[in-house]
Structure 1
């Protein structure tokens, strides 16, 4: 009885000790405190702002948790020094030119530090090294971008509303074009005129092509004019002769003009002396009447029996010559 009573405290103490071990192990597992006993290295990054990052936040590399934020402090220049506790097992995967940025665990989750980038064949980081900070796209930046997009969209819809109002109220060129039938008909007429002009231009181009083809055809006048030097020289000579004739005609007209302006010349007398002109006119009338009388006398001579045979022979000879021709 006394022996069993003395062993009871021993059993109770052993049971409590085992329970304490399980409790301590559970606390370490649930609170993730077992990592406290892992060997770690420290890295530092200098941020302009941390967007609500807190001590104890996770550190990720390629989506894998490799450490936690040890401390956050503000420097004299108002930058933020963030010290990271990194597992030694991840040291070989972080190179010296890698960068850090602040992200979120999900869309609106807790803030985390993300290590990314770096070139191959670069030396791994050492304890106490400083990593450069890369571009950080926070939820606030996204919301600001969305806000600007909303403002731009509102401005676009406002402008479109004004444009549609002008279209429906016949304001502006497009509004008048849509609602004014006369203006539409005028524009349609202009379009038809342009189409006709285009068709004529096409015909002109075809004609020019045909003309140039004729220029290249040997034996044609156009080709001879372009390529035959003999024909060209003949035309050139003819043109020079025409120029000489033109000059001679000009000299003749000048002389005639001078003679007509001189009242003592024959032409001047005819143009300026009315009496001489009247006499010349009378002389011409006498010549006309004399020629008429001469025609009558010749017709009378033809009907005379003395000369009738002579005129008949002349008529026969004329008919014979005409038939031979």
Structure 2
């Protein structure tokens, strides 16, 4: 009998402890699932929930405010998530609030993160649909990381090829880095550029000098008027030349007839031949007169006077030359 009492005591203690554990479990589960407090529901639509599960936490500004109650398909490309939220935080969630899918740590469970929204907006109501934003998942990050690694590999390969070409080729860049003569040529080029720059500075100073000709040419109104008059004179001369050219090109003009009229040209040739013949005959008559005994003495005196005059001119020229010495 005593033994049965001892066993009954142990059994009763076990039952009490079991009930306590059960009640504690129910309490903590109910608390985590908001089963015992006042709650309200929010909904959001996603194209991809990225591994989100029922029971995962809902955070507001990093603080847990609820859990995920349901996840259902609306269509083949849209999923609706139903959240159960503590009523105490309802006043902080506005109608323009935004919900995204995040992770509880780097490799932790998925969570829903709600940003409160604008203070001037209205507070959400029970079963309100709030805006959602598709978060960047680990898969997208890994894909982007893989692309970055591939690009880095390509860049590294190109840099390796570039370094090889610099060290082994005869290109311009390789010459710049290794060829002494090429470097000297570049030095000379830089010196020439420096000299040219210095000369340009001097030229600029001369241009800025108020007393310089170029400065006066650019700023002095007198110089400008003079240049204007010169240009007008050139313009007038060009107009006169155009008029003269037009007269030359006139078919009825003398010059045009001389150049184009065959009859006029033949007449001019005949006139020139007659003049040449007449001149020749005059020379013959002059020679005949010189040989005539009637005029011979007169021509001799004329020749003698001409010779004396020439001799006097030569003497005067010699005297001037001697004086200069």
For the aligned pair, the TM-score class normalised by the smaller chain equals 0.5 to 0.7
> C-alpha displacement at 1:289, in angstroms?
3.2
> C-alpha displacement at 1:160, in angstroms?
1.3
Alignment of 1:275-290 (within 5 A): 285-289=307-311
What is the TM-score with the length of structure 2 in the denominator?
Answer: 0.62
Counterpart-to-counterpart distance in 2, 1:181 and 1:69: 74
What is the TM-score with the length of structure 1 in the denominator?
Answer: 0.62
Give the structure 2 partner of residue 22 of structure 1.
20
> C-alpha displacement at 1:204, in angstroms?
2.5
> C-alpha displacement at 1:72, in angstroms?
1.2
Counterpart-to-counterpart distance in 1, 2:179 and 2:109: 63
> C-alpha displacement at 1:30, in angstroms?
5.5
Distance 1:171 1:281, change over 3 A: farther
> C-alpha displacement at 1:164, in angstroms?
1.1
- Find the residue that maps to 1:202 and give its secondary structure: helix
Q: Is the 8 A contact 1:215 1:226 kept in 2?
A: no
Alignment of 1:16-95 (within 5 A): 18-28=16-26, 31=29, 35-95=34-94
Q: Is the 8 A contact 1:27 1:33 kept in 2?
A: no
- Find the residue that maps to 2:119 and give its secondary structure: coil
Q: Is the 8 A contact 2:102 2:113 kept in 1?
A: yes
Distance 1:31 1:191, change over 3 A: same
Q: Is the 8 A contact 1:170 1:179 kept in 2?
A: no
- Number of matched pairs: 254
Q: Is the 8 A contact 1:68 1:85 kept in 2?
A: yes
Give the structure 2 partner of residue 213 of structure 1.
211
**Cα RMSD for the two superposed structures:** 4.6
Counterpart-to-counterpart distance in 1, 2:309 and 2:158: 99
Counterpart-to-counterpart distance in 1, 2:54 and 2:117: 25
Give 5+ residue unaligned stretches, structure 2: 215-219, 238-271, 288-299, 317-325
> C-alpha displacement at 1:293, in angstroms?
8.9
Q: Is the 8 A contact 2:98 2:131 kept in 1?
A: yes
Give 5+ residue unaligned stretches, structure 1: 217-222, 244-260, 295-325
- Find the residue that maps to 1:146 and give its secondary structure: helix
Residues 1:116 and 2:115 are matched in the alignment: yes
